Amino acid sequence: MNTNRKHSMTVSLGISIRDALQRLDDTGAGCLFVEEDGDFRGIITDTDLRRAILSGADLSTQATINEFPVVIQEEGPEDLKRAEEILNDSPYDVIPVVKDGKLVTFLTRESFRVAAPVVIMAGGRGKRLAPESEIVPKPLMPIHGKAIIEHLLDQFKAAGAKDIRIVVHHKAAMIQAYLSSHKHFIVEDEPLGTAGILRRLGISEDYFLTNCDIMVKTDLPRLMQFHHDGQYLITLVGATVKNVLSYGSCHLQAGRLQRVEEKPEHEYIANTGLYVINPEVRKYIPARRYDMTDLIDNVLTAGEKVGVYPVSGESWIDIGQWEEYRKVLAEWKKKE
């Protein structure tokens, strides 16, 4: 959220109709937030102001405020979901976010849309899906009647993304022919790894970067806000994963068995392959093949900040290897 815009839309209790109307015209906003001694008191809407003027109200009188507007708390996915539904299905143009009686920020319909560019890495050979990937490139592997990359495009377009760039190399012509309606491709003359091409993108704002063989169900605008709030150079989305070993684990001490732990569970946060990238990372990328793991190590070594945005393991689909691909196909079949 643009803090300066929130500040320009905030007025003091007791503002006159004339001054409120002037502030609305200056900001181009549809409402103003009213505060008293730093506490949120309500909103003044453009509609109410103009209705008062048309009814003959004196412009020097105090503007009437709505003291009980719809608000949500600062945190909580259910509150955000409710706010999105209200904004989409009602005349509301803005919903204040209030915590402990203070105005924190505000939400509009655009708060739930993705304005940032998206880069899809679709140039790899997909060796873990060989030999099929030598015939059908990994981005075109089918899931539920669509290529995986089509599911990705649908996800980002549904979130409002307009600038989506697809990086291709292996069987680039086939991918371009299949996605003939998509016009923005970046063709690698030689494979540059999972991060090498980022040096050449020429994007001047923070952007989403995703592998082509994964999908992560998450709130993309909220992910971008997390990235901005933390002032991270890179934010990676991490899924909470639980693995159960197939065998008992032997715990030793001084060469002697202490106990056997039967099929132990290990929980960890896995890198999903979805990132938010600050364009300043390009200075850490050499002019050669380079991978994301190396870039992250380089950024951390330089003392820069890398954020981790956790999501549930159920929110992450990975078809990068046959076992996972078959699992995804089985899950889709259950939904039919």
Is residue 17 located within the same domain as residue 94? yes
Of 35-39, 88-92, 139-143, 309-313, the poorest mean pLDDT is in 88-92
Please state the domain count of the chain.
2
- pLDDT score for 312: 83
Q: How large a percentage of the chain has pLDDT more than 70?
A: 88
Is residue 125 located within the same domain as residue 40? no
CA dist 207 and 203 (Å) reads 8
304: domain CATH number is 3.90.550.10
Is residue 174 located within the same domain as residue 274? yes
pLDDT digits (tens, 9 = 90+) for 215-250: 888 888 889 988 998 999 999 999 888 776 777 778
| Residue of higher predicted confidence among 92 and 38 | 38
Is residue 156 located within the same domain as residue 91? no
Picking from 59, 92, 111, the residue at the C-terminal end of a domain is 111
Chain centroid to CA 112 = 10
Show the domain range for 241. Answer: 113-335
pLDDT for residue 127 is more than 70:
no
Is residue 223 located within the same domain as residue 189? yes
pLDDT digits (tens, 9 = 90+) for 140-163: 888 777 888 998 898 898 888 989
Is residue 101 located within the same domain as residue 138? no
Is residue 269 located within the same domain as residue 148? yes
